[in-house]
Structure 1
Amino acid sequence: MKRPLLPLLAFQIAGILIASRFLLPDALMPAALAVVLLFLLAFRIRRRNRAATWTVGAGMAVTAAILMQAALHGAPSPDAVSRFAGPDPVTVQGTVCEHPQRTPDRTDLTVCAAQALRKENWEPAAGKVLLSLKDPAPRGYVYGDHLRFRARLRVPSSFHNPGGFDAERHLRLQGILARASLKDPSAVVLIRKGAGNPFRAKLESFREGLKQFIYAHASTPEREVIQSVILGDAKEIPENVSENFNRTGTSHIIAISGFNIGIIAAFFFFLFRAALSRSETVLLAFPVRPLAMALAVVPVLAFTLIAGAGMSVLRAAIMVLAFMAALLIGRERDLYNVLALAAMLILAVSPGSLFDVSFQLSFVAVVSLLFVTPRLALWIPRPDPAKGSPVSRRFRGVLYQAALFVAVTLAAMLGTLPLVAFHFNRVSLIAMAANLLMVPILGLLAIPLCTLLILAYIFSDGLAAVLTSAAALLVKVSLTLLSSLASLPWASIYVPTPDFLQMAAFYVLLVASVLSLEVLAERRGQGQRDASGQREGPHNRSLAPFAWIAGACVLFLVLQGSYHLLTDRRAGTLRVTAIDVGQGSATLLRLPHGSRILVDGGGAQGVSRFDTGKQVLAPYLWHERILRIDVVVLSHPHPDHMGGIPFILENFRVREFWTTAETASSPEFLPVRRLLDARGIVLRTVSDASEATTLDGVRIEFLHPPPLIRERATEEPDYGDANDSSLVLRLVIDKVGVLIPGDISGRVEEELVRSGRDISAAVMLAPHHGARSSGTLPFLQSIAPKVVIASAGRDNLFGHPHPALIERCRTVGAAVYRTDRSGAVTVTTDGRNIGVETFLKETLPAGRAP
């Protein structure tokens, strides 16, 4: 087999995927591995090498599945710190065991717990706790600090929606068993320092000293970018600068990846080769190229340690070192096998890396470079070294290298495009131009300069200060260019999440197109003669198969897009989805002919830099192929309903915005009002006096509040008043009604019952997330719901939905669904039948409308 490692890697990936998708019986895995080993032994005895190779692959799949299942579902220790999670604060003592992650407004500490205080008794505790401290912190905690803190522990959880990021799995793979947060960092007590590994402590001390040196000799934001390139703390970069990198598709330059470490390896290889070539003794005694490559391994390993030796850094280093080893032993023609070997090593150490974005982008980019770039290079004329003057030959050589650089950039962009769209839902339209400008400055110049800065910091503060200033100058020029490019209104666009078939079709299209270019290049060269005057070998490959495959892929993508568009517009049903936004509320209404209404946007009070709209709502909408929303509705201006709306207004096509006059006149609404004016979105204030609206055959009624329920006083309004001024909507399609009551209390419910208006509804969102004081029995009896959905956060402090409300719902014959336990809940109705589907369960049996 020409490349035996590629199928073995495929088996390994298959095992990881199976274990991540299905919970396999513990006894099955060792038994399967034993069977595989027996088959392998039998095949080797009978000398059936091909069968033995496939059996080795099966063994790798089983082994990978075992490792992945242990990481995801391994039995927790009896002393696991997660057993202390609950509504009451717990005193925990432990050691900071990872490099602290700092952002402009908080610090995240990974604390390896040692013991916890419960009922005045210290009990052993094991496992990691992710402790978030609101900055400014009174002291800078570092690795090895032994701490004591008192906080409420929470088991890590995710927002369970289609297309959402699985934070729970991400943290579990890091060994984090609990989370905690403190608004007052002074509540953390430093017991002692130096409790970690001595070598790691010295390394972290060196990293912190280098960081402080950079901060002292460069200004913001240049210093944050420099330390990100060297130390990997990209979270400290100001948000507006990070956004500019994202908009221009150049974020990979400031993240420690194979790109950065590859530049460092190349820089030191050429540096060592140039130095060794000056010595006649070395030239006579050693082959310079392999020696220079071997010496370049040392700075790569040193940089890996200084960068923190985190899993992402180790992955990049393993990949680069594997390629360096291939070049060192003369196997540069077998780079696909080398790449497969690097991937197998990484996945053997950390199976969860398969789901890491940086792992996927790095390896797909390299595969694309290996496959696409040589075929694009066929279309770049090589300069003839025997023609022209020295100046013209040099000029043609520069043009040729520039063209190759463009080909490399294009190959990497095309190869990673589907993954970028899948993970980030964003495509930069100027990424090509931005990378052609930024890579030479920040990549080829600044990264080697920053590496030399590390060496200078060890030996000479003066030289290190000069190098820091030089690096800061390069970064400043880069950021100026970056800001100009990012300010273009069409610099980047958000796109729906591609599915597996779309991504596969794109890659098949890319391969077929590139091979077509290769065939055309071969045909173009048929009439050329080689140096001996003979015709170059005939090229008889047909273009037709590749052209047919490429055309079929394009046709598939067009037809699939048209199918989704027509399906949405001809659904003929009303779909109501209570999106899991934690302790908040956001409901998407998809009407029979394709119109969409978003009622509230979720959000959380007191969570810094967490944008529910960007990180929860938008990924769900993109997954559902939604870029346009006809109406956004805000029931009342509390953060758990309004927090995610600004991002939606900024980045989706919104036609109208509905809310109450009370909300529109509140100071909390001012930022939203500015966005509406800037985006040209129509603002409509509604009340119970507003006429009902019909959209796509669905009647939308406004049941509450009155036109102006009170005159706003000068003092801060009562929190409950805003709840009771919530906009209450009732949607009707044929015989089925849907009630969305906001956060109203029992007092308003009583008013609605006495109003005499028809408030019946087969589907209802629980008022105020299922609070005990809402959902009174007379209200429920007047509505007669069959389905009640409570939008609440997991283990929330308010106890929503309250058991008393759940019992009242059952009394009137309603089935209760909860986003904290079932994730996103979708109700589909054609006006007669009702179906309920939850994200964390199979489709539930359909009910019959009254």
Structure 2
Amino acid sequence: MLALVIGLLVLRFLPALPPFWLLAVLSAAGVMLLPFRSYPIALLLFGFTWACVCAQWALDDRLAPQLDARTLWLQGQVVGLPEVTDGVVRFQIEQAVSRRDKLPDRLRLSWYGGPAIRAGETWRLAVRLKRPHGLVNPQAFDYEAWLLAQRIGATGTVKSGELLTPASGAGAWRDRVRQRVLATPAHGRAGALAALVLGDDSGLSATDWQVLQNTGTVHLMVISGQHIGLLATLLYGLVAGLARLGVWPRGWPWLPCACVLACAGALVYGLLAGFEVPVQRACAMVALVLLWRWRFRHLGVWLPLLLALLAVLLWEPLASLQPGFWLSFGAVLLLILIFSGRLGAWSWWGTLLRAQWAMAIGLLPLLLALGLPVSASGPLANLVAVPVVGLLIVPLALLGTLLLPVAGVGAALLEGAGWLLHLLFTLLTQLAWWLPAWLPSALPFWAWLLVSVGALVLLLPAALPVRSLGVLMLLPVLFSAQLRPEYGRAEVWMLDVGQGLAVLVRTQGHELLYDAGPRFGEFDTGERVVLPSLRALDVRGLDLLLLSHADNDHAGGGVAVSRGLPTLRVLSGEPDKLAPSLEAQSCSRTHWRWEGVRFSTWLWTDATNGNQASCVLRVEANGERLWLTGDIDSQAERALLSSGLSMPAHWLLAPHHGSRSSSSTSLLAQVKPSSVLISRGAHNTFGHPHAEVVARYRAQGARLYDTALHGAVRIHLGAFEQAQGLRDHARFWREK
């Protein structure tokens, strides 16, 4: 069983899927090994083959390349619960059909300013479809892996549509329940109640998510194994308590009744929550634990965990691509490790303290490996939140939802659950302000391995004298630092922020960020992409934040970055148009030197619009030069050429993302770049970079580095080397 699990998990780390003929050979080898009783090797090969076959099926179900960025009329049924954020309706449809070509089984669509959409409805839609594509940055959320794990074969933007048939089926029933839950006042926490009851987290604001992340309590608002397990435990405990009190019917054996009732309750809760992959995983684990408790307790505590892990991976091998898979099974493994060998009884508060201690220490290596924030206040927050949510709020919310048809009763119970949630969020907000989450820098493998061993040592029984060494082994988390550029050289990162710009320039002792990415409603790339990437690169503060101008795609994330990192100075070509909290100063023509690396800025004083007012930055290290040009157009380019600055450079950031109004022939003739950087979103509506501009660069003989094609791009300025794109680091689920 363990060999089969390992074979299934290898999929997560593959750079590319093996060809079909190789999988056939491996399967045949596994069959040939069976007569020799080499079961572990055979099962490992079977698990690996099955995982690769399932992954290939999912990849083959992606949108055909010839349909990428095309608008098609299609018809399909809405599944899941649609979300509405900032006027954008997001939903998924299945069984979509089009006259043009075959479509993937599941699509994720966005409709800007669209009408109310209900689960179970059938729509005819005009959609601009796109193959799965996400931003690729250091330690950032891997959207493409998430889409593949959800078996979503394409995304798209709805242009128009018409409703064909009204809502029907289980999805429509869930949607009606959601509407009734959201209609209750619940002290302003109806959205959180919908998350706990139905798994619909669209009612939680960005502020709520930030509070949950800072306090390490995100798992409480996402239906997971904890919620399913707590409900099953309550139902099991109810029957066991009645039996102990002597009021349970003697003709009914209490143990099988308790197990069946708990399993049925977990399954109903899972169906109410939509029965997505995490919920399926939780229900499988609960069912196997209950079966073990009923009939197979003599086999030990590790067997149910291994069986649950095996059941989940055989049913959906792609589950290993999601961080929640590793965290949920890791948490259960830690609890078994802590409690399975205990001697004597512990008090309830001692049990809670030990559980939180185990989670805080034991999950640290997983959080580091997955690039997730570490919450310093998490143990304290969970010590209060876990019992309150699991024992009070969730039962009240479920009972209130069940009794909504009873006039006044269900609404009153939901109101009570909302009041408790309001108090809990008030407490969590204070804790988040006191001890916000910390995103450690990416550790080298040896340091991560040392931290992992240290965490394991700290969780060993207290009688062992080596436990004190575990504290020393955790020190790399605090003191490990990445290598800095040599004197006279610089490290440059053009981050992948979609249709926007953010470039990090690092010298031996200083950090400069040129632009901070866009902000779209509640999605702030400064907070969601730039900050995590900077922390992963061991940036602990900015000496200069240079926002070229005030356009959203360049300055939208500036406030989030300055709030998340100590920032000594902010410059901009349009300081008066930026948020007052930035305290930005006007960019002027100046130059300075950091550790042998020379910097120069230039601003066109006669600019008539924001793009022309972009503050331009020139960086030179060891004779290798880079121009960062913001959104200047051809007129500003002519002014720059007549400024007297030395223009030839090895690297040029394409002005205005490669717009047709920029990158003039005269600019290219004088700069003579050997490499050009293009920061833009895939399939952007502006058509950047323009075909004529690309042709000019290619005629110049320049090599192009495009974030839409290469992801984040890293340059060792001063080494005269080619750049490295993170998308070039192969993962089988990423577009090439």
Is TM (by shorter chain) over 0.5?
Answer: yes
1:555, distance to aligned residue in structure 2 (A): 7.1
Counterparts in 2 of 1:83-122, with a 5 A limit?
Answer: 83-86=66-69, 89-103=71-85, 105-112=87-94, 114-116=96-98
2:297 corresponding residue in structure 1: 331
SS at match of 2:125: strand
Counterparts in 2 of 1:17-32, with a 5 A limit?
Answer: 17-18=12-13, 20-32=14-26
User: Deviations along 1:665-691, whole A, 9 cap, x unmatched?
Assistant: 22xx1x2x22x25xxxxx432223xx3
1:264, distance to aligned residue in structure 2 (A): 0.4
Counterparts in 2 of 1:622-637, with a 5 A limit?
Answer: 622-637=535-550
User: Deviations along 1:148-207, whole A, 9 cap, x unmatched?
Assistant: 22232222211122323221232133232322235x8xx33111125xxxxxx4433332
1:296, distance to aligned residue in structure 2 (A): 1.9
**d(CA) in 2 for partners of 1:95 and 1:82?**
24
Counterparts in 2 of 1:282-681, with a 5 A limit?
Answer: 282-283=249-250, 285-331=251-297, 334-373=300-339, 400-423=347-370, 425-457=372-404, 460-488=406-434, 490-498=435-443, 500-515=445-460, 517-519=462-464, 543=465, 550=470, 553-554=473-474, 561-562=479-480, 564-565=481-482, 567-568=483-484, 570=486, 572-591=488-507, 593-603=508-518, 607-660=520-573, 663-666=574-577, 669=578, 671=579, 673-674=580-581, 676-677=582-583
CA 312–203 in structure 1, closer or farther in 2 if over 3 Å, else same? same
Counterparts in 2 of 1:750-829, with a 5 A limit?
Answer: 750-829=638-717
**d(CA) in 1 for partners of 2:281 and 2:679?**
40
| Structure possessing the higher radius of gyration over alpha carbons | 1
SS at match of 1:515: coil
1:13, distance to aligned residue in structure 2 (A): 1.2
Contact 1:81-1:127 within 8 A present in 2 as well: no
1:232, distance to aligned residue in structure 2 (A): 0.8
Contact 2:120-2:171 within 8 A present in 1 as well: no
Tell me if 1:838 matches 2:732. Answer: no
1:281, distance to aligned residue in structure 2 (A): 8.3
User: Deviations along 1:817-845, whole A, 9 cap, x unmatched?
Assistant: 22222222222133x634422223379xx
SS at match of 1:447: helix
Contact 1:636-1:727 within 8 A present in 2 as well: yes
1:641, distance to aligned residue in structure 2 (A): 0.9
Q: Quick one: percent identity of the two aligned structures?
A: 26
1:359, distance to aligned residue in structure 2 (A): 1.5
**d(CA) in 2 for partners of 1:646 and 1:336?**
49
1:343, distance to aligned residue in structure 2 (A): 0.9
1:648, distance to aligned residue in structure 2 (A): 1.0
Q: Which amino acid aligns with 2:152?
A: I
SS at match of 1:217: coil
User: Deviations along 1:663-722, whole A, 9 cap, x unmatched?
Assistant: 0122xx1x2x22x25xxxxx432223xx3111221221123322xx36xxxxxxx7xx21
Tell me if 1:181 matches 2:176. Answer: no
CA 224–773 in structure 1, closer or farther in 2 if over 3 Å, else same? closer
SS at match of 2:124: strand
Q: Which amino acid aligns with 1:665?
A: D
Contact 1:578-1:825 within 8 A present in 2 as well: yes
CA 454–325 in structure 1, closer or farther in 2 if over 3 Å, else same? farther
1:337, distance to aligned residue in structure 2 (A): 2.0
**d(CA) in 2 for partners of 1:552 and 1:629?**
30
**d(CA) in 1 for partners of 2:468 and 2:539?**
32
2:110 corresponding residue in structure 1: 132
User: Deviations along 1:411-449, whole A, 9 cap, x unmatched?
Assistant: 122222333345464222222222222222222111222
1:8 corresponding residue in structure 2: 4
SS at match of 1:724: coil
1:155 corresponding residue in structure 2: 131
Report how many residues are paired: 730
1:697 corresponding residue in structure 2: 596
Contact 1:92-1:113 within 8 A present in 2 as well: no
**d(CA) in 1 for partners of 2:125 and 2:242?**
54
SS at match of 1:97: strand
CA 155–510 in structure 1, closer or farther in 2 if over 3 Å, else same? same
Q: Which amino acid aligns with 1:263?
A: L
Contact 1:632-1:657 within 8 A present in 2 as well: yes
Tell me if 1:43 matches 2:25. Answer: no
**d(CA) in 1 for partners of 2:338 and 2:246?**
39
Contact 1:81-1:128 within 8 A present in 2 as well: no
1:404, distance to aligned residue in structure 2 (A): 1.6
Q: Which amino acid aligns with 1:129?
A: L
Question: What is the root-mean-square deviation of aligned Cα atoms in Å?
Answer: 2.8
1:192 corresponding residue in structure 2: 165
Q: Which amino acid aligns with 1:85?
A: D
1:846 corresponding residue in structure 2: none
Contact 1:81-1:177 within 8 A present in 2 as well: no
**d(CA) in 2 for partners of 1:109 and 1:115?**
17
1:23, distance to aligned residue in structure 2 (A): 2.6
| Bigger relative CO (Cα 8 Å, ≥ 6 apart) | 2
Q: Which amino acid aligns with 2:414?
A: T
Contact 1:96-1:145 within 8 A present in 2 as well: yes
Q: Which amino acid aligns with 1:239?
A: A
**d(CA) in 2 for partners of 1:684 and 1:294?**
68
TM-score (normalised: structure 2): 0.92
1:327, distance to aligned residue in structure 2 (A): 0.8
User: Deviations along 1:39-77, whole A, 9 cap, x unmatched?
Assistant: 11x214xxxxxx323322332222223223332x3366x
Q: Which amino acid aligns with 1:236?
A: G
SS at match of 1:354: helix
Contact 1:221-1:238 within 8 A present in 2 as well: no
SS at match of 2:270: helix
